[in-house]
C-alpha cells in the first residue's frame, strides 16, 4: 500500500510504501473455503453445507441400496463415482490448507499451491 502526502496545491510532498501484513492461517482457511465453494458451485458457506449434506444423504442411500444386494442404476453408479471424485478434491483442498496454515506463504492464493 502506498501513502502519499500532498501540499495545499496538490503537489506531492512525500510517498511511503507500507508493506501488506503477512498472511495468516485465517487467510489460508478463507482461500480454502473460496475454492471449496467454487468446486461445489455454492453461493456461500451455508449453501456449501446444504450441498454437502444432500450429497452425503444420497451417498448413504446408494450405499444402503448396494449393501442390501440390490443393483444400482446407471445414474446411481455415476452419482457414486461423482461423490468419490468430489470428496477426494475436498480432502485435497483441506490438506493443502492444513499444510500452509502453520507458516502461510505470501503467495498462498497461487493456483500452484492448491490441487
- Tell me if 25 sits within 8 A of 102, measured CB to CB: yes
Cell 455454492 found at: 42
CA distances from 19 to 15, 16, 28, 30, 38 (A): 13, 10, 19, 21, 30
Tell me the pTM. 0.80
Per residue of the chain (115 residues), what is the pLDDT tens digit?
888 999 989 999 999 999 889 999 999 999 999 999 999 999 999 999 999 999 999 999 999 999 999 999 999 999 999 999 999 999 999 999 999 999 999 999 999 999 9
Amino acid at each position: 500500500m502506498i501513502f502519499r502526502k500532498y501540499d495545499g496545491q496538490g503537489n506531492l510532498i512525500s510517498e511511503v510504501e507500507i508493506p501488506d501484513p503477512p498472511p495468516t492461517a485465517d487467510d489460508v482457511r478463507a482461500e480454502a473455503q473460496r475454492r471449496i465453494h467454487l468446486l461445489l458451485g455454492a453461493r456461500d458457506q451455508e449453501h456449501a453445507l446444504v450441498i454437502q449434506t444432500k450429497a452425503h444423504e444420497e451417498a448413504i442411500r446408494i450405499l444402503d441400496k448396494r449393501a442390501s444386494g440390490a443393483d444400482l442404476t446407471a445414474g446411481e453408479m455415476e452419482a457414486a463415482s461423482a461423490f468419490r471424485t468430489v470428496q477426494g478434491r475436498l480432502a485435497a483442498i483441506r490438506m493443502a490448507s492444513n499444510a500452509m496454515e502453520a507458516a502461510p506463504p505470501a503467495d498462498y492464493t497461487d493456483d500452484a499451491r492448491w490441487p
